[in-house]
């Protein structure tokens, strides 16, 4: 009797193996391998032979090739245009990921409304909500327009038929995990489904020059649910961040084939939807409410400086000392604590230390190190830091305070926001009214931080 062929596929990265394993050797995810049935194996075999047979393009010298005409158009949102690198590129496939309720559908429906008002024919495909539900949201966002079409549908073939029936100029898919291709014998949201659908949408975007935005749900660890291959296939990957308790949302570029990923879009959620934040100044801190354990610093989000509040809580530990941080790298926190213990003789090994960056901001640059140290010292001594002073500097393993990028721009923001003092690693080049204290060693700042 012929031996039955089995194939297991990782639901996280698409890795395939004939043997079941508890942990995927490709992406290290646990219990992500599921067995494919004979129909699914047959489908995979067929699609792999089709792709080798249809490859008939001939290579040409690069000098004979005309470049693509990238004429961007505005999405009607200054912040989204900034993250995209100057506007929407026709024929591009963009993936927007974000946790539940962060505002993905709200943002894209608003953009759909903006574009419809410029007489672009827009198709909003929703597999999650009914047309009536979306209409309710559109009323709230003031996104009603004749040129905006809604299609509550989960079947990819119906979506493709609709796209072919009218000359749409912008398409939104909400969400990729709910679409279903009849040609693929797996459940919606599975690796094979998501891969096939994205491939088809990519073909439509490129061949018809229509920009397509896809919404993707994210898993608990913050990556797009479904295969990582999704991120590789699309042109642009954007992530929505933000604390659902605060009204601010950050849209961060993770990958962009048409621009840089340095810029961050900042939006405000209110009852009229998600709008461009008018000014970020003062959104991430409250000068009047600073208490012991809070320190202010300036981080650069793309080309923009933002003043943020860093909070620390140091309390005596009854057992194994805990260290936990939200919005800041835990390993870096451990390094700073070890440094404080060694250089300043602080008995932090017997204390729990918690760090939080207010407003749901994630700090990805080392310039906030000094502020973290100041907040820890402030909480440990239970003494408030001056609400007029900001802390800037990267701290090295030797306790040296290193310079930060764009110092003059950061100091200018501090001045604009009405602060008076800053503890910095080097003297800023440009003159300002800010009194700068130059600190080059961690051991030296202790005498200065409570000034």
Residue ranges in contact with ligand ATP by CB under 6 A:
98, 100-106, 128, 140, 217, 244, 269, 271
Q: Which of 123, 121, 82, 77 is nearest to 103 (CA)?
A: 77
Q: Which stretch binds Mg ion (CB under 5 A): 19-27, 86-94, 100-108, 114-122?
A: 100-108
* Residue (225 or 390) nearer to ligand ATP, CB: 225
Binding at 89: pick from ligand ATP, Mg ion, none (beta carbon under 5-8 Å per type): none
Binding at 283: pick from ligand ATP, Mg ion, none (beta carbon under 5-8 Å per type): none
* Residue (104 or 195) nearer to ligand ATP, CB: 104
What mask, x for binding Mg ion by CB under 5 A, covers residues 149 to 188? ----------------------------------------
Shortest CB 373 distance to Mg ion, Å: 40
Residues in the chain: 451
Shortest CB 101 distance to ligand ATP, Å: 4
Binding at 102: pick from ligand ATP, Mg ion, none (beta carbon under 5-8 Å per type): ligand ATP
Q: Are 423 and 449 in contact (CB under 8 A)?
A: yes
Shortest CB 212 distance to Mg ion, Å: 16
Beta-strand runs (E) in 46-169: 93-98, 122-126, 148-152
Structural tokens at position 147 = 């040129």
Shortest CB 104 distance to Mg ion, Å: 5
State the DSSP code for 209: T
* Residue (217 or 228) nearer to Mg ion, CB: 217
User: How many residues in the shown chain lie near Mg ion by CB under 5 A?
Assistant: 1
If DSSP states are collapsed to H, E and C, what string results for 292-348?
A: CCEEEEEEEECCEEEEEEEEEEEEECCCCCCEEEECCCHHHHHHHHHHHHHHHCCCH
* Residue (105 or 192) nearer to Mg ion, CB: 105
40 forms part of the interface with Mg ion (CB under 5 A): no
* Residue (105 or 190) nearer to Mg ion, CB: 105
Could you give the count of Cα atoms lying within 13 Å of 132 in the half-sphere of its Cβ?
Answer: 0
* Residue (105 or 378) nearer to ligand ATP, CB: 105
* Residue (97 or 293) nearer to ligand ATP, CB: 97
Shortest CB 438 distance to ligand ATP, Å: 44
* Residue (32 or 105) nearer to ligand ATP, CB: 105
Q: Which stretch binds Mg ion (CB under 5 A): 103-111, 202-210, 347-355, 428-436?
A: 103-111
* Residue (101 or 418) nearer to ligand ATP, CB: 101
Q: Which of 182, 187, 130, 178 is nearest to 154 (CA)?
A: 178
Cα separation, 99 vs 352, in Å, equals 29
Shortest CB 110 distance to ligand ATP, Å: 9
For residues 185, 150, 119, 114, the Cα torsion angle rounded to the nearest 10 degrees is: -100
Give the C-alpha distances (Å, rounded to integers) separating 283 from 259, 277, 354, 370, 421: 27, 10, 22, 21, 20
Shortest CB 90 distance to Mg ion, Å: 25
| Distance of alpha carbon 312 from the chain centroid | 24
**β partners of residue 40:** none
Shortest CB 134 distance to ligand ATP, Å: 10
Binding at 98: pick from Mg ion, ligand ATP, none (beta carbon under 5-8 Å per type): ligand ATP
Residue from 77, 105, 184, 256 in contact with Mg ion (CB under 5 A): 105
126 forms part of the interface with Mg ion (CB under 5 A): no
* Residue (272 or 322) nearer to ligand ATP, CB: 272
Shortest CB 314 distance to ligand ATP, Å: 33
Give the C-alpha distances (Å, rounded to integers) separating 320 from 64, 293, 335, 380: 67, 22, 17, 18
Max Cα separation, the chain?
A: 87
Residue 412's CB is within 10 A of a number of other CB atoms, namely: 17
Binding at 269: pick from ligand ATP, Mg ion, none (beta carbon under 5-8 Å per type): ligand ATP
State the DSSP code for 12: T
Shortest CB 126 distance to ligand ATP, Å: 9
Shortest CB 180 distance to Mg ion, Å: 17
Structural tokens at position 195 = 């891969």
Q: Are 119 and 292 in contact (CB under 8 A)?
A: no
Q: Are 18 and 44 in contact (CB under 8 A)?
A: no
Q: Which stretch binds Mg ion (CB under 5 A): 34-42, 102-110, 293-301, 425-433?
A: 102-110
Give the C-alpha distances (Å, rounded to integers) separating 257 from 27, 231, 234, 304, 388: 24, 12, 9, 22, 42
Binding site for Mg ion (CB under 5 A): 105
């Amino acid at each position: 009797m012929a031996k039955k062929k089995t194939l297991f596929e990782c639901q996280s990265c698409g890795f395939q193996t004939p043997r079941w394993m508890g942990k995927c050797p490709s992406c290290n995810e646990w219990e992500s391998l599921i067995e494919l049935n004979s129909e699914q194996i047959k489908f995979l075999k067929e699609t792999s032979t089709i792709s080798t047979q249809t490859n008939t393009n001939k290579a040409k010298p690069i000098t004979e090739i005309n470049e693509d005409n990238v004429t961007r158009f505005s999405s009607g949102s200054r912040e989204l245009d900034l993250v995209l690198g100057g506007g929407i590129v026709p024929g591009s496939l963009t993936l927007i990921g974000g946790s539940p309720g962060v505002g993905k559908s709200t943002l894209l429906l608003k953009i759909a409304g903006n574009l419809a008002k410029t007489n672009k024919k827009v198709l909003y495909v929703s597999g999650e909500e009914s047309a009536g539900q979306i209409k309710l949201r559109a009323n709230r966002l003031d996104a009603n327009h004749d040129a905006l079409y809604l299609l509550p549908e989960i079947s990819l073939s119906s979506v493709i038929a609709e796209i072919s029936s009218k000359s749409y100029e912008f398409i939104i898919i909400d969400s990729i995990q709910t679409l279903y291709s009849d040609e693929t014998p797996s459940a919606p949201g599975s690796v094979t489904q998501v891969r096939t659908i994205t491939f088809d949408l990519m073909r439509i975007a490129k061949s018809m020059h229509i920009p397509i935005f896809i919404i993707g749900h994210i898993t608990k660890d913050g990556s797009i649910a479904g295969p990582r291959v999704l991120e590789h296939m699309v042109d642009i990957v954007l992530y929505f961040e933000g604390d659902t308790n605060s009204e601010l949302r950050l849209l961060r570029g993770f990958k962009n084939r048409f621009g840089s990923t340095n810029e961050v879009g900042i939006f405000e959620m209110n009852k009229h939807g998600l709008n461009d934040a008018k000014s970020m100044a003062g959104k991430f801190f409250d000068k009047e409410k600073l208490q012991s354990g809070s320190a202010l610093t300036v981080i650069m989000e793309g080309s923009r400086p933002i003043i943020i509040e860093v909070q620390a809580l140091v309390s005596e530990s009854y057992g194994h000392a805990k260290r936990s941080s939200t919005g800041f790298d835990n390993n870096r926190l451990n390094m700073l604590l070890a440094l404080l213990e060694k250089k300043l003789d602080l008995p932090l090994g017997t204390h729990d230390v918690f760090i939080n960056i207010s407003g749901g901001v994630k700090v990805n640059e080392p310039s906030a190190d000094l502020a973290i140290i100041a907040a820890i010292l402030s909480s440990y001594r239970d003494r408030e830091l001056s609400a007029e002073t900001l802390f800037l500097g990267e701290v090295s393993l030797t306790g040296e305070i290193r310079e930060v990028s764009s110092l003059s721009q950061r100091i200018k923001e501090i001045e604009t926001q009405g602060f008076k003092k800053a503890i910095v690693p080097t003297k800023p080049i440009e003159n300002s009214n800010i009194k700068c204290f130059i600190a080059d060693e961690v051991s030296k700042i202790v005498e200065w931080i409570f000034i």
